[in-house]
Amino acid sequence: MESLEASRAYMAPATYARTCAACHALQFDRRLTDAVPHDKPEVIHPYVVAQLQAYIAAHPADLRVPRDPSRDLPEKPIPAEYRLLTPSQWVAERSAEDEELLWRKTCKQCHTLISDGSAALPKIAPSNITARYMPRAKFDHSQHGLIGCASCHAAAATSQQSSDVLLPGIATCRACHHGGAEAAESRCYECHTYHDPAKRKPGHSNFSLSEFQGRAK
């Protein structure tokens, strides 16, 4: 992707660190300032556990958990004012609560989570971000730097949905690429390719080079 970004040939896919992190923080517990890494649940889970273990080791007084009156249920016995937990119990409860928040709210804002009910951790569906929308065409943004972005992508300024594909139609291209001395190159090969080199098949012949040259004459 570095070569594509350097040439500006295609739009680079958004990344969390560069595009999303400024607004979508990954904090997971009000007691901690650290955020989870933007990674798979199998990486996030041990990180959450390790952070909580370090916290409770430094704050053993938190093992005495006061009753939360807002969670009392009508017509149910009122629990004791405090619960005294072991460090492992405290970490297990807090990690379950923190990960419930991560999976159901934080991660789900941008990702599709897949859970079959039997696995302890959900799976994250691939994002499948399109880097090249026209695989049989060539385009380089760096060759169009004298033109404002909105000239070709007029709807970009008002777009509100990530599903919007704001590619211009051929009529926009033909505003510059048409016949005439003052126009940009308009022959087909300037923008389009017709064969996939990866599917090219080798040729087979019994001719030698000299025989082929003789027949060509």
Residue 137 contacts residue 193 (beta carbons within 8 Å): yes
Amino acid 62: pLDDT: 93
* 139-167 mean pLDDT: 86
Strand 123-124 with 82-84, pairing: unpaired
pLDDT at 216 over 60: no
Q: pLDDT tens digits for 124-135?
A: 998 887 777 887
Cβ(136)–Cβ(2) below 8 Å: no
Q: What confidence score (pLDDT) does residue 48 get?
A: 97
The values of phi and psi at residue 86, to 5°, are -85, 160
Query: What φ, ψ does residue 132 adopt, rounded to 5°?
Result: -135, 110
Instruction: Check pLDDT > 90 for residue 83.
Output: no
Q: Give the DSSP letter string of the chain.
A: -HHHHHHT-SPPPP-IIIIITTT---B--TT---B--SS-HHHHHHHHHHHHHHHHHH-GGGGEEEP-GGGPPTTSPPPPSEEE--HHHHHHHHHHHHHHHIIIIIGGGTS-EE--SSSSS-EEPP----S-S-TTB---GGGGTTS-HHHH-GGGGT---TT---PPPHHHHTTTBSSSTTSBP-SGGGTB----GGGPPPP-----HHHHHHHH-
What percent of the chain clears pLDDT 90, i.e. is strictly above it?
35
**So what's the pLDDT on residue 72?**
67
Cross-strand pairs, 192: 137
pLDDT at 9 over 80: no
Mean pLDDT of the chain: 84
**Residues 158, 96: Cα–Cα separation, whole Å:** 40
In whole angstroms, give the CA distance from residue 79 to residue 67: 7
Once rounded to an integer, what is the mean pLDDT over residues 45-72? 90
Domain layout of the chain by residue ranges: 2-124, 141-216
pTM: 0.65
Token look-up 């650290």 returns 34
